[in-house]
Structure 1
Amino acid sequence: MDRFRALGVGDKTVRALSEMGFEEPTPIQEQTIPVLMAGRDLVGQAQTGTGKTAAFGIPLLEKVGHSAAAFQGMVLTPTRELAIQVAEELNRIGQFSAAHALPVYGGQDIRRQIKALQRRPQIIVATPGRLMDHMERRTIRLDETRTVVLDEADEMLNMGFIEDIERILAAMPAERQTVLFSATMPRAIQNLAQRFLREPEHISIKAREVTIPLVEQRYVELHDREKFDVLCRLLDIQAPELSIVFGRTKRRVDELAEALKKRGYSAEGIHGDLTQTKRDVVLRQFREGVTDILVATDVAARGLDVSGVSHVYNFDVPQDAESYVHRIGRTGRAGQTGMAVTFVIPRELEHLRSIERMTRRKLARMAVPTLTDAVEGQQRLAVEKLLRQVEEGGAEPYKGRAEELLGELDSVSLLAAALKMLTKEPVTTPVKITEEAPLRGRYGGNRRHSPGGPGSGFAPKAKAGGFNPKARVGGEKAWKY
C-alpha cells in the first residue's frame, strides 16, 4: 500500500483500500491520482476493468472526505446500474471518512431521492435525465460544485445525452475541476472537452493494456442454428459457477433466457425493457449465486461488476472491438483467470479478424463440441465431485453400508452406478431461437444492426426507432435497447 501513500493518498483511504483487497495502483490510477489531487482537469481514455472508478474516486474522496460540508462532487454516468455501482464503490473507498455518495437515477421513486438529498450527501452519482429532473425541481443545485466527473462519456454520447451534459456543465461554476473518462474519443467528445475543460492533462491506457491478459479467448465457427445446442454443451463441459451470455438484441436475450430455463439451467435475462425493480432483482440473484447464468445485452450490462464470473459467452459477435473488450472484461477480474468464447458464423469471420487487429489479440479456434463431449464433460465433473467428497471427509457413517454392498457387488459396477447417479445427462428439449442477420464490417452493413439499431447502444441518426429525444421514462431519456 506504500505506492498509494506515495501518490498522496491519506491513511483513512489507504486503510479502506486495503480492506477492499487493493494491493497496488493500476496504471490508470498511478497516472491519474497525482493529477487530480493537484486540482487539474483531466481527459482519461480507458476501458472498463482498468480501475478508473478508483482513479477518479480516490482524489474526489480525499478532497471532500475531511469536511462535513454538503454537496461538492458530481459523477455523471450513462446507466442506472453504473450509477449504483460507482456510488457503492465510492462509499467503500470512503468508509472511514465523512464523505457519502448518493446514486440518483431514473426508475427510482423521486420522493425517496429528495428525502435522501435532504441529508446533504457530499457526492452525487447521477444519470443525466434524472439529474435534470432534480435541477428543474430545484432539489439539486449545482452552483457549489467543485468537481464533476463524466464517466464513460462516449456511452452518454451514444445514448443521446450530449445536449443534457452540456446544459448540466453550463449550470456549474466556471471555477471547478472537470474530469472526463471515455473508452473512445469521437469528435463530439473532443469538442466537449475543448469547451468545458481548462488545459486538461491527457492520459491514455493503450489497447494492449486493456485486452484482459488473464482471460483465455477462443472462438467457435458454426451456423446460427447450431449456436444454442453448442452453448448448452459448453455449459455442461465447462460447468462455470457464474457466467454471462451476451446477445445482440433484447428479443435474443429473452429467447435465450427462456430456452436455457427449458433445458434446466438457472438463467435470467436483463435488458432495457425490464423495470428497474426487476433489473435489480435479477442482478442481486446473480451476485448471490441464486442464478448461475446472466443473459444480457451490451448496454444493460454496462458497468456490471460481479466477482466470480468465470466464463463469458458471446452468443452473437459484438459490434466492435470496444464492445468486445467490455464484454470479456466481465471475467478475469481482481487477478482471477477467466474464459471468453465467441460464436462466429462463417460470414462474420472478417469482422472477428478486425476485432483481433484492434485488440492486438489472436483468438484461438475451438472445435465445435459434440454431444459425446458434453456427456464426457459431465462424467468428468461427477468424478471430480466424488473425489472432492473423499478429500473433504465426513463419509464414515456410510462405510458400513459400503462394505456390505462391496460384499454383494464388484467395486467397478458399484462405482459406475454412483457416477451415473451423479452425472447430469445433457437435455435436448427442442427450443426455438430466431436467427439474426450476420454482422458485416465494423457495424454490420445493414440497417437492422447498424448504429442505432435495436440492442446496439448507439444513437440513431434516422428518425425511426431507437432513441426518442422528447420522450422520458422515469426521468431517463427513452432509449430502447
Structure 2
Amino acid sequence: MTKEIEQFAQLGIGEALTAALLEYGISTPSPIQAEAIPYILEGRDVLAQSQTGTGKTLAYLLPLLQRIDPDKKESQVLVIAPTQELAMQIVREGEKYGASLGIGTIGLIGGASAARQVEKLRQRPHLVVGTPGRLRELLSTRKLKLHEVRTIVLDEADQIFQMGGADDVRSLLKGALRDRQLIFLSATLGPDVRALADREMKDPVDVGIEPEQKLVKLTQHLYFECQQRDRIDTLRRIVRHYNPERAIVFVNQADTIAEVEAKLNHLGLEARTLYGDSDKVTRATVLSQFRAGKFRLLVATDVAARGLDIPGLELVVHLDPASDSEHYVHRAGRTGRMGRKGLSISIVTDRQAFIMRKFSRELGTEIEERAMYEGAVLDPAEAEERRSGGSRRTPKGPSAGRGTGTKAPAKPGRSAASASGSEAGIQAGGNAAGRSGAAGGTSSDAAASALRPKSAAKPAGRGPKGSKKQPNKDKGAPKWLKEKRTPQDPS
C-alpha cells in the first residue's frame, strides 16, 4: 500500500475509492476532508464550514459512497443543491467515483423532462442529487420516496435559503426518516442555516478549517477604478495584460449580459453567457465548451458563482461589484481552488470604491487598488508619478519659454490664431503685462503663424513687432474706438 493510499485509508476510505482518487490525480486529502470524513463515516450530523474551493464535495461524497450498500436497490443518500450547475457537477462526481462500486446516481433538476426523471427513478438509484423545487415536486406526486433515505446533504446550504428554497427543504426533511443523518456544508453559514441545524440536527459536529478566513489565501484580490463608460475597455486591458486561458466575468443584471457579451466579442475576446433564464441544455452546452477551452470569457450572473469547479480557472473579474461580501466570497472562490493560485479583480467607479474597502474589512482580506499605465499594472501612486513625470511642465512667469523653445499649450477649444489675436488686443490696450507676455510668447506666435492657413484673415490692430500697420481708416480715431475695433478673444 502506497503512502498516498495510506492517508485516505487512515480516514476510513476503502481501497477501491482511493484507487479511483489516484487515477484522477488526488493523492492527499484536503484539511476539510481530513476533518469531516471520519465523523460522516460514523453517521454523525455534521455542520461544515470551509472556504470555497477546498474540496467540500468530496469531503461528504467519499464517506457516503463508502457507506452505501450497492446490493440494496433503494435510494439511500439525498443531496440538495441550490443550482442546476452544482447539482449536475455533484452527479458527475458521484458517477466518477461510484461506478466502480456499482452505485447508481441520478440528477433531478428543473428544466429537464420530469417524465424521463421518473422513469430513471424506477431503477431505484442509490444516490439522488437535485434542486429543491424539482425534488419537492416529485415528492408531492409520490414519484420520489424518501422512506429509505438514511442521509440528507445540503450543499451550499446558505445559498439554498437565499434563493427561496427553505420551504422545499423543510418538506423534504419531513418526508425522510426521523433518524436520518444530516450534513450541512457551505463557505458561509448564516443564521437561517444555523437555526435549521439547531432544530433538526442531533448533537452535530461543527467542523471547519479557519472558518473566519472566508477567502482562500492563495488568491490575490485587486480592484481598478475607472469611469463608468470605460468599464469594458478596462476589462479588455486587464484580459490583455494577464492573458488568462479562461476567465469568468460577473455582472449583476441579466438584462445587461447580452450587451456585455456583444461588446467583448466585438473587441476580439471570445465570450459566451450563462444566466438563470437559460434553458438546461444551453447552460450545460456553454459550461462544457468553457471547460474544454472553446472560448475565453464566460459572462455570468451570480447563478454561476456557487459550486462551479472550472479546472485551471486563473481569473475572476467583477465587472459589477458583488452585492455583498458573501457573494464576493463565492464569486472569488471560482479561482484559486484546491491549492492553486488565483486572481480576483473588481472594476469599480470612484463612487463604488468604498465597497472594496468594506469587503476588505468584513472578510479580513486585503483588496488592493491597482492602476494601469502604458500596459503596466502599478500602485496608483506610482502610476500617477509616471504620468506626471512623462509630461514636461511649462515654467510660469515672464521668463516662460525663454531660451528653451518650450511652448505653453493653448487652452482646450482655443485656436493658436485666436490666442495670438488676444495678445494683440492686450497690446493695443497698453497693458504692460500683455507686453511682457508677448515678449515671452514669441515662439508661440511663430508656431501659430506657421499653423495658420495662408488664406486666413489676420487680426487687425497693433500686434507684435514686425506685424502690419492698422488700416488707414483708423488713422486719427480716438483710443477707445481703436480698442473697440480690436478683435476679442473668442474663448
Q: Secondary structure at the match of 2:351?
A: helix
Structure having greater relative contact order (Cα 8 Å, sep ≥ 6): 1
State TM-score, norm by structure 2: 0.73
Question: What is the DSSP-based 3-state SS (H/G/I as helix, E as strand, rest coil) of the residue aligned with 1:340?
Answer: strand
**What amino acid maps onto 2:249 in structure 1?**
V
SS of 2:28's equivalent in the other structure is coil
Give the equivalent residue in structure 2 for 1:251. Answer: 255
1:322-341 paired onto structure 2 within 5 Å: 322-341=326-345
State the alpha-carbon separation in 2 of the partners of residues 182 and 211 from structure 1. Answer: 13
- In the TM superposition, what is the alpha-carbon distance from 1:237 to its structure 2 partner? 2.2
Alpha-carbon displacement from aligned partner over 1:19-78 (angstroms, at most 9, x marks no partner): 122121112111111111111111112232121111110111001155343210000111
Aligned equivalents of 1:290, 1:85: Cα separation in 2:
19
Partner of 1:37: 41
Deviates more, 1:344-353 or 1:165-174: 344-353
Match of residue 396 from structure 1: none
Instruction: Say how many residue pairs are matched.
Output: 373
- Please show how residues 54-65 of structure 1 align to structure 2 within 5 Å: 54-64=58-68
| Offset of residue 369 of structure 1 | 4.7
SS at match of 1:43: strand
SS of the residue corresponding to residue 99 of structure 2 reads coil
Q: CA deviation at 1:373?
A: 6.0
1:196 aligns with 2:200: yes
Distance in 2, Cα, partners of 1:369 & 1:74: 53
Equivalent pair of 2:11/2:38 in contact (CA under 8 Å): yes
Does 2:47 correspond to 1:48?
A: no
TM-score scaled by structure 1? 0.74
CA RMSD of aligned residues (A): 1.8
Distance 1:301 1:186 in 2: 17
Determine the structure 2 residue equivalent to 1:316.
320
* Residue equivalent to 1:170: 174
Whether 1:86 and 2:90 are equivalent positions in the alignment is yes
Tell me the residue number matched to 1:27.
Answer: 31
Q: Conserved in 1, the CA contact under 8 Å of 2:223 and 2:356?
A: no
CA contact (8 A) 1:16 1:95 kept: no
Specify the alignment match of 1:281 in structure 2. 285
For residues 178 and 373 of structure 1, do their structure 2 counterparts lie closer, same or farther at Cα, with a shift above 3 Å needed? closer
State how far apart, in whole Å, the 2-side matches of 1:67 and 1:202 are: 32
Distance 1:182 1:241 in 2: 28
**2:433 paired residue number:** none
Structure 2 CA distance for partners of 1:39 and 1:148, relative to 1, 3 Å: same
> Which residue does 2:306 correspond to in 1?
302
Residue aligning to 1:180: 184
Q: Which has the higher Rg, Structure 1 or Structure 2?
A: 2
Report if aligned partners of 2:156, 2:306 keep a CA contact under 8 Å in 1.
no
Q: Distance in 1 between matches of 2:89 and 2:18?
A: 20
Are positions 1:143 and 2:147 aligned together? yes
> Is the partner of 2:139 in helix, strand or coil?
helix
Kept in 1, the 8 Å contact 2:55–2:338? The answer is no
- 2:357 and 2:242 map into 1 onto residues whose CA distance is 26
> In the aligned structure 2, how far is the partner of 1:125 from the partner of 1:290?
28
Q: Deviations over 1:390-422 (max 9, x none)?
A: xxxxxxxxxxxxxxxxxxxxxxxxxxxxxxxxx
Unpaired segments ≥5 residues, structure 1: 375-481
> Could you tell me whether the CA contact under 8 Å between 1:222 and 1:368 is conserved in 2?
no
Structure 2 CA distance for aligned equivalents of residues 358 and 348 of structure 1: 16
- 2:224 alignment counterpart: 220
Are 1:11 and 2:23 counterparts? no
Task: Tell me if structure 1 keeps the 8 A contact 2:45–2:205.
Answer: yes
Once residues 49 and 211 of structure 2 are traced to their aligned partners in structure 1, the CA distance between those partners, rounded to angstroms, is: 10
8 Å contact 2:81–2:129 — kept in the other structure?
yes
| 1:157 equivalent in structure 2 | 161
Q: Which amino acid aligns with 2:64?
A: L
Contact 1:317–1:343, Cα closer than 8 Å, also in 2: yes
Residue identity opposite 2:293 in structure 1: G
